[in-house]
Chains A and B, each alone.
Chain A
């Protein structure tokens, strides 16, 4: 690996990129349009304060505590459902799409856990309508709260800086959920399309043939392209976060894991595109290939809506898609500042990126035949 050559390729790609309107559109304008579009659509149709129904079957001090805690969150308008109601009937009759059920024995299990019984767990049930986007938001907030509680119960709240006020007292809106999704999606589409168009153009022009007669190696080319896509990803990210902040006042945690997720995401999708671009012969098939890679992921990996709200079989598919781990990692880091979960997802993306890079070096050549 020769740094001079890697820089040269980066530099010339950058020049072409800055002079090309199409590339600039996908890197900057497209994500901004998405944020504005979705941000405004959902900020108008969705209530800012989400009704949150709770049925408390435990009725203990601790369950009331939890209820009170949720009432304290300004995004929630908490309403209690009497314990004598049959939930399924009640939900239908009252057109309710989201209920948290605190089971009988909640306090006991919690106490056992606090006494050190590691096998004791508490199962809270949420009944909700997955087709409503508000459900996803509520789930996300609820997850955040429970995460926080778990931390407290384990008695390690000091080591993880989780400040409930900064996020849970603010209104959690769709846009908070959506912006990390747009980040992940933009980096993916940028890397996939940038690489596919770039590579098929290079091949068609005979530039690869030319390069194969010079000392530059395929590995240097791939690495350089990955670095460039990373750079473009960083530009996109800055623009997206800035627009989110300026237009919607959205802020996130500055969690470094989020950056790592984006880095490995850019590497992964660049490498993947490089592997697949070999199979297309015509320049025209390039955009088709790009769509085949990005479209399913965009809609099934939780870019627009939370995967947990999707039917089971779609969730299984989602979990087989790399972008899912990107989205999860970004949200855990940026929204919930949850290092453990964020790192877990980040490592999956990193492993994928690594595999794809090695495969790229091994299975793609300059050679035509």
Chain B
């Protein structure tokens, strides 16, 4: 295969303006065949606007989009049979069963897949004759993903596939997404969950206010923007945060009797523990971990992603 064919999505200087505000403000992207690409950003960052422009259902104000080597603006008819989409907050016909739902969407394509295979793939056999309206949120999302796969697409767009799901359902959906990657599909995932990007993505682009502020593999991002280590104390008293604050560090009160600070290495860790011991400040235990995307985001934007969760 020629190198150009390995790039499945190529976006250049993409802009979308709403009411004189750039919801998407000059985005460039290159996504390779077979990778899971995560578009990570808080509410209103411009994720959905970007994906929907790539899918061809919103018109860009500026910029060019090549999808599967086709110009989306001109060849939307040729693109559609080759992509699968789970729109944000998608929900299907209430009074239609799982099987009927998948079968309906499958019939819209010339090359529709066998419904039973999809039911199998998404582990929905048990629920095949249940009405969509009676399914749990996690099952609904699985039906949504099944529906995004009815045409055996080369590229799958999943817009916040696990928002609002309980942890178990989220794990289920993650399993499905990993399986898709295994079958060679390219996956464009938007999310505002760090763990999701961290768990699934080969590559992550962080978007904020319509601009990509960082891009790379999860490891690269943490290496570049991470703060090294995060030290967390638990079972603390009132003195500890004050004491740490007095050392000139930024103290993160995370609740539950916990407090975190960033440190750069092992020596710093030992130094702090020494000082605390000397001062007689009490705590129950400590925990040290590598900084994650959460800190990367905080560092990049000065905002926390977590508080944005609806």
Q: Which A residues fall within an 8 A CB radius of B?
A: 4-5, 8, 11-12, 15-16, 19-20, 205-207, 209-216, 366-369
Among B57, B100, B131, contact of A213 (Cβ-Cβ < 8 Å): B57
Q: For residue B92, which residues in chain A have a CB less than 8 angstroms away from its CB?
A: 205, 207
Taking a contact as CB atoms under 8 Å apart, the answer to whether A215 and B81 are in contact is yes
Q: Could you tell me how many residues of chain B have their Cβ less than 8 Å away from some Cβ of chain A?
A: 32
Verify if B96 is at the interface (C-beta below 8 Å from A): yes
Do B58 and A369 have beta carbons less than 8 Å apart? yes
B239 contacts partner chain A, Cβ-Cβ < 8 Å: no
Chain A to chain B: the 7 pairs with minimum beta-carbon distance, closest first? A19-B95, A213-B85, A8-B107, A206-B90, A209-B87, A205-B91, A214-B108
B63-95 interface (Cβ within 8 A of A): 77, 80-81, 83, 85, 87-95
**CB atoms of B95 and A15 under 8 A apart:** yes
- The answer to whether A215 touches B77, judged by C-beta atoms less than 8 angstroms apart, is yes
> Given A12-B96, A209-B57, are A215 and B87 also a contact pair (CB < 8 Å)?
no
Interface SS, B side: loop
- Is B147 on the interface with A (CB-CB < 8 A)? yes
Cβ-defined contact, A215 with B57, below 8 A: no
Contact A16/B94 with A8-B108, A367-B58 known, Cβ cut-off 8 Å: yes
Does B104 contact A12, Cβ atoms closer than 8 Å? yes
What is the CA–CA distance of A11 and B104 in the complex, to the nearest angstrom? Answer: 9
Nearest CB of B to A201, in Å: 8
Q: How far is it, in angstroms, between the C-alpha of A185 and the C-alpha of B18 when the chains are bound?
A: 42
Taking A205-B92, A369-B59 as given, write out 14 further A-B residue pairs in contact, using a Cβ cutoff of 8 Å, ordered by the A residue number: A8-B107, A16-B94, A16-B95, A20-B95, A205-B90, A206-B87, A210-B90, A210-B105, A213-B55, A213-B80, A214-B108, A214-B151, A368-B52, A368-B57
* B56 touches A (CB below 8 Å): yes
Contact B58 A210 (CB under 8 A): no
Of the candidates A20, A211, A367, which one forms a contact with B59 in the assembled complex, judged by CB atoms under 8 Å apart? A367
* Residues of chain A lying within 8 A (CB to CB) of residue B18: 369
A/B interface sample: 5 pairs, CB < 8 A: A20-B95, A206-B91, A368-B57, A369-B18, A369-B58
Q: How far is the CA of A366 from the CA of B52 in the complex (A)?
A: 12
Asked if B90 contacts A215 (CB within 8 A), the reply is no
In the complex, residue of chain B having the shortest beta-carbon distance to the beta carbon of A204: B91
- Whether A366 pairs with B57 at a CB distance below 8 angstroms is yes
Interchain CA distance A315-B90 in the complex, whole Å: 48
Contacts of A16 in B (CB 8 A): 93-96
Cα–Cα, bound, A5→B91 (Å): 20
With most chain B CB atoms within 10 A of its CB, the pick from A5, A12, A16, A207 is A12
Please tell me if the beta carbons of A4 and B107 are within 8 angstroms of each other in the complex. Answer: yes
User: How far does the Cβ of B151 sit from chain A's closest Cβ, in whole Å?
Assistant: 8
Interface residues of B in 133-161 (CB under 8 A from A): 147, 151
- Cβ–Cβ < 8 Å partners of A209 in chain B: 52, 57, 87, 90
Would you give the shortest CB distance from B141 to chain A, in whole angstroms? 12
CA distance in complex: A206, B55 (Å)? 15
A213 to B80, CA, bound (A): 6
Q: Are A12 and B90 in contact (CB under 8 A)?
A: no
A179→B23 CA distance, assembly (Å): 56
A8-B90 contact, Cβ under 8 Å, with A16-B95, A19-B95, A209-B57: no
What is the chain B residue whose CB lies nearest that of A5? B108
Docked complex Cα distance between A368 and B55 (Å): 13
A215 with B108: CB separation less than 8 A: yes
> Which residue in chain A gives the minimum CB-CB distance to B97?
A15
Q: How far is the CA of A7 from the CA of B288 in the complex (A)?
A: 61
Whether A216 and B55, one on each chain, are in contact in the complex, defined by CB atoms closer than 8 angstroms, is no
What residue of chain A has the Cβ atom nearest to residue B49's Cβ? Answer: A369
Closest to B56 in A: A213
CA distance A19 to B108 in the complex (A): 23
Contacts of A216 in B (CB 8 A): 108
Q: Please report the C-alpha to C-alpha distance between residue A211 and residue B147 in the assembled complex, in whole angstroms.
A: 11
- The interface centre, meaning the residue of A207, A211, A213 with most chain B CB atoms within 10 A of its CB, is A213
